[in-house]
Every structure is written in C-alpha cells, then in structure tokens.
Structure 1
Amino acid sequence: MLLFPLLVFLAVTLAIVGLFVWLTPTRAQQRLQVMAGQEGKSPWTESVVKILAPFAQLSTPPDMERASPLRIRFLNAGIRHPDAYLVFFGAKTLLPFVFGGAAFLVLRASTQLSGMSLLLDIAVAALLGCYLPNIVLLFMARRRKREIFESFPDAADLMLVCVEAGLGLDAGLTKVTDEMRVKSMALAEELHWTNLEMRAGGTREKSLRNLATRTGVEEIRTFATMLTQADRFGTSIGESLRVFSDDLRHKRQVRAEMLAAKVPTKMLIPLVLCIFPSILMVILGPAAIQIIRTILPMITGRA
C-alpha cells in the first residue's frame, strides 16, 4: 500500500531537482555569459519571452511612450531585460484565462454553483490573474527599495571616509561600489551603472539623477541634489556628506523603532486566531465537559 505514494513522492522530487538543475546555469555558463555581455540572460528567459510575446501583442499599449512609467517600475524592481514588457503584458493576457479556467473546473467539481454566482467567481479569478503581474512587480520594487534604503547609510559613511582620505568623488564611488557588493548587490549594481554612465561621458549631475530615478528611493534623490549643489556652489563635499550620513542613520534608526513598535499590534491576529482558542480549549474544556455531564441530566429529567 505504501509503494505507490513513495513512487509518486520520488517522481515529484526527481522532477523538481531536474527542473532546478536545468534552469540553473553552471559556473562555466555564467562566465561565458559575462564574457559575452549577456549576464542576466538565460535560455529559460528567452524561451519564456518567445512563448509570451504573441500574447503580449493583445494587451500592449499602441503608444509605447505611455509605458515609460512602467519602464521605471521595472528598473525599481531591478529588471533590465529589454523584453521584460513582453513577459509582463503576455502574463496579463494569459493569466486571466488560466485563473478563470482553473476556477471554473474547481467550482464545478467541488460545488453546485451555476448561473450568475459561477460567472461572478470566474470573473473575480480572472481579474486576480490580470492584476497579479502588477502585484508581483510592486512587491519586487518595494523589497528592493527597502534593501537599498537600509544599505545606503553605510554607503554614505564609506563615501565620507573615501573623500576625507583624499579620493575624488568619482574614485570614491568606485571604491564604495566594490565594498558594498558584500552587503547589498542591488545598491552596488546601481552605483556600478552610475560609474559606467559617468565614464561614458555623462555629467555627474545627470548620472546621479538617473541613479535616483532607477532606485526610486527618496534619500538617494536628496543625495544627488546635495552633491550637485555642493559641486555647483563650491561647498565642502566632506562636510555635506557628514551631515547627510548622520541624517540617514537617524532615519534608519527611526524606521527600525517604528517597525518594532508595530510588532505587538501585528501579533494580535495570530494570538487571537491561533493561540487564544487553544488556551481556552485546554483551560475551559474539562470544566465545560463536567458542567454538561452534571446539568444536562437535570434539564432532561434523568437525574
């Protein structure tokens, strides 16, 4: 009797392991991609793009200039693939049919719903599938912004140390980029793109503004404005960085205290739904059983 479940478990496990090995590139493949300038791309990504591209044409806006805010959202989430919008709009086209069909099959198999109730449930499932890519993109951007915000005070302190040690601002950015790879790859990647942009001939002001736009973090926008004003008016960059880094550390501390203050409120839901019923059952259960055994015969006249 146990042979069939074991075989099913073994088959599913081997399928998952095989899929993971197939999708994960080896070190040699990663080095070849880096040398060929195709870092971040994989055969799996290209296959997904080819599958979803025909569906993306059904929901892609006719004027792609309107998609510039969407491009900024992709950059905030760390997505730089040129065909990312095809996957996004393809998923928005395909997922409503998938979710609607799945909801139809599940509801018809498990319940006896029909008519308007069934159509309403299918419409809700399709609407969820339509907005699921937006929700995933929002959570990815929010998580990346939080990581950059929490790591940026350390980067500002490193920048201050580099400037006070005698390095220029461009050399300090390069040094900070190398050091921040240990803590935050997202921030190090954005600083690396800023360094490349300045080396390619872009002005420091424009490069820093592009950095603020790509990250979507307000503190980095303030950092770019501060460095631009310090460079334009000839004020001390080291003193400006010292004041700015102190303010960033204070903001990070206030944010941590605010999140810690929300913990008791967030714990109320699992306490009320999971822990309190168990405690009440353990404490009041035996007493309730004894009361029922004593009073019920008296009520029914069997005492």
Structure 2
Amino acid sequence: MFDFLWALSVDQIAILSAGLSAALGTGAVWLGLTERGPSARRARAILDRREDLRRQLRQPKRRDLTVAGVSIAKRVARRMRLLGGAKAKEAQVKLNRAGVRSRDAVPVYLFLKLAAPFAAGALAALLTYGLDLWALSPNGKLLVSAGAVLGGFAAPDLYLKNAADKRRQKMSRALPDALDLLVICTEAGLNLDSALVRVAREIGANSPDLAEELELTAVELGFLADRRQALQNLEARTGIPSVGALVSTLAQAEKYGTPLAQSLRVLAREMRDERLMKAEEKAARLPATLTVPMVVFILPSLFIVLIGPGILRTIDALTNL
C-alpha cells in the first residue's frame, strides 16, 4: 500500500485527494438531508398521536361488557347496602390477602356472593328439571339443585382462600431472603422506608407479591400519622405469622430505638430454621404417604410377575390330570 502511494506522482495524488474529498462531501450532504433529528421524530410522533385521538373521538363509543358488569354489581351492592358493614371489611381483608387490589373488587365480590347461589341453582334446575339430563328421581333432582345453590354460595370464598394460600406460601418462601437483604440495607445506613423500597426492588423478580407488599408498606410509612398502623396493615394483608414477628420487631425498633439489624438477623435465622424444619417434616412424612400408592399400584403387578407363572403351571398340571 505504501509502495503504491510512493509510486504516485504529485498530480495523481492531488486528483485522488480531490476525488476523495468530493465523495466525503457528497456523503455528508446526503446524511444531513436524510437523517432526522430527535425534534423531527418527536413532532411526527405527536402528529400521529393526535390523529389516533381524533379517530377515536370520531368512532361511536361502545360500552365494554366488563365495565357494564362492574357498574351493575356496584349498583346492586349499593342498593342492598352491602358496602358499609362488617361484611365489606371482612371481604376487603380477604381480597387483600388474595392479592386483589382493584377499587371495585369489594362490590363485585359481594355481588357474586349474592348472585352465584341463584345462578347455580337456576342452572342446576334447568339441567335436571327442564332438560332431564341425568334422569334422576325427584329427590335426586332436589338434592342436586340444593347442592348447586350451596356450591354457588361457597365458590367465591373457596376461590379467594385458595388464591390467598398460594400467595402466602410464595411470600413465606421469599421472606428469609428479604430479611437478609433488609439487614444489609439497615447496616449500610438506610432508614426503614428506604430499606423496604430497596429490598422490594431487589426481590421483585423472584417474589413480586412480597415486593408489592413491602412497597405498599413503605408508602404507608411515609404518609400515615401512626407508623405502627402501617406495619399492622402489612400483617393484616399477608396473614403470615412470620410477618407478625417481623412487624413486632420493627415496631419495637421504631418505638424504643433498639438496634434493628441485630434483631432482624436473629429473626431471619429463626425463619430459615423453621423453613428447614418444615422441609424435614415433609421428608419424614414421605414414606407414609407413599405406602398407599405402593400397595395399590406396585404390589399387585409385583405379585402377578412373581406368582403368575407358578399359578399357570399349577393350572396346566391339574388340567392334564
């Protein structure tokens, strides 16, 4: 390459430099004309958004079925005066423990508690009396209808109970790790509010339910007058005994100024030991649990393999006699 450059004359080098400069200038002008800046892209996005909004305003408004159903549920619950009593507070606790945060969750739940028995009973009566689907006796039809009514009454509670139990198990498994992170944050000098926010951010991928509860507790600690009430709300929303111990420790540290990191470290160790004991208990209960499947499924096939040939030979010998 260098030998080729040295072999060129002065005129050839000048011509080559002029051509290269012309090519670079043309490329710069072309890029300047075609490349759009951030302001142009933002202006184009604003125009597109304005056109979308104008198109939505011109379209006829249609009421979503979900919104219509929620409004009906709210109207019925308000007419029946179900939103201001102890049942509404109990329903709010159940929904919080199940992880349902919607504003309209309480009236919808109360409406389902009220309407599900009638709907289930009407469906069962239609299938048994109207269509005669199973050809039952009159007493059987009455029993099926009554069972459907009871099932419809208990279905919302069973659903919330199962959802709350699954959520509680997930949070219980992630709680010791969250306590270890909380110990690290408090030892690093963070206050309780900032430590809860940081721990929630770190465990959000592994346990989003616990992260949501910790973030909500941090928000309540910031605007509630009584900080102990925010911690008690955390215990009420989760329903976990370990969280009750954590709330007691945090409330004691807030009230008396005791060292928080050492108490949390001891509490995290106790929770880990408790989780290990539960795992050992399940492992010890496993042989007794496997006894019934082994007797029902494994032993008959084993007896057939071991005793079957002898029985067949005996039958053949007796038939030859």
Is 1:68 the counterpart of 2:89? The answer is: yes
For residues 149-188 of structure 1, the aligned pairs below 5 Å read: 149-188=172-211
Give the whole-Å Cα distance in 2 for the aligned partners of 1:259 and 1:284: 35
Q: Which amino acid aligns with 2:165?
A: R
Match of 2:70 in 1: 49
Give the whole-Å Cα distance in 1 for the aligned partners of 2:270 and 2:169: 17
Give yes or no for contact 1:151–1:187 (8 Å, CA) kept in 2.
yes
Larger radius of gyration: 2
Match of 2:167 in 1: 144
1:100–1:285 distance in 2 versus 1, CA, 3 Å: farther
Give yes or no for contact 2:91–2:109 (8 Å, CA) kept in 1.
no
Give the whole-Å Cα distance in 2 for the aligned partners of 1:222 and 1:45: 41
Corresponding residue pairs, total: 256
Give yes or no for contact 1:151–1:184 (8 Å, CA) kept in 2.
yes
Pick the aligned partner of 1:259 from 243, 257, 282. Answer: 282
Q: Which amino acid aligns with 2:194?
A: A
Q: Please state how far the C-alpha of 1:277 moved relative to its aligned partner.
A: 4.9
Give yes or no for contact 2:77–2:83 (8 Å, CA) kept in 1.
no
Instruction: Report Cα offsets for 1:115-170 as digits up to 9, x if no partner.
Output: 22221122112211221111111111111111111111111000111111222222
Give the whole-Å Cα distance in 2 for the aligned partners of 1:232 and 1:66: 33
Pick the aligned partner of 1:229 from 252, 258, 261. Answer: 252
Pick the aligned partner of 1:92 from 101, 107, 113. Answer: 113
Give yes or no for contact 1:60–1:89 (8 Å, CA) kept in 2.
no
1:55–1:169 distance in 2 versus 1, CA, 3 Å: closer
Q: Please state how far the C-alpha of 1:245 moved relative to its aligned partner.
A: 1.0
Q: What do you get for the CA RMSD once the two structures are aligned?
A: 3.3
Give yes or no for contact 1:56–1:90 (8 Å, CA) kept in 2.
yes
Is 1:245 the counterpart of 2:262? The answer is: no
Give the whole-Å Cα distance in 2 for the aligned partners of 1:91 and 1:178: 35
Q: Which amino acid aligns with 1:167?
A: L
Q: Please state how far the C-alpha of 1:195 moved relative to its aligned partner.
A: 1.2
Instruction: Report Cα offsets for 1:60-99 as digits up to 9, x if no partner.
Output: 7475233212211111111121222333233334433444
Q: Please state how far the C-alpha of 1:264 moved relative to its aligned partner.
A: 3.2
Give the whole-Å Cα distance in 2 for the aligned partners of 1:162 and 1:120: 60
Match of 2:98 in 1: 77
Give TM-score scaled by structure 1 length.
0.71
Give TM-score scaled by structure 2 length.
0.68
Match of 1:213 in 2: 236
Give yes or no for contact 1:59–1:93 (8 Å, CA) kept in 2.
no
1:85–1:167 distance in 2 versus 1, CA, 3 Å: closer
Give the whole-Å Cα distance in 1 for the aligned partners of 2:304 and 2:69: 51
Q: Which amino acid aligns with 1:223?
A: L
Uncovered stretches (5+) of structure 1, i.e. residues with no partner: 1-42
Give the whole-Å Cα distance in 1 for the aligned partners of 2:104 and 2:80: 15
More displaced 10-residue stretch of structure 1: 247-256 or 117-126: 117-126
1:157–1:112 distance in 2 versus 1, CA, 3 Å: same
Q: Secondary structure at the match of 2:235?
A: helix
Give the whole-Å Cα distance in 2 for the aligned partners of 1:48 and 1:283: 64
Give the whole-Å Cα distance in 2 for the aligned partners of 1:179 and 1:122: 51
Give the whole-Å Cα distance in 2 for the aligned partners of 1:201 and 1:97: 42
Give the whole-Å Cα distance in 1 for the aligned partners of 2:198 and 2:143: 57
Match of 2:157 in 1: 134
For residues 264-303 of structure 1, the aligned pairs below 5 Å read: 264-277=287-300
Match of 1:114 in 2: 137
Give the whole-Å Cα distance in 1 for the aligned partners of 2:305 and 2:154: 43
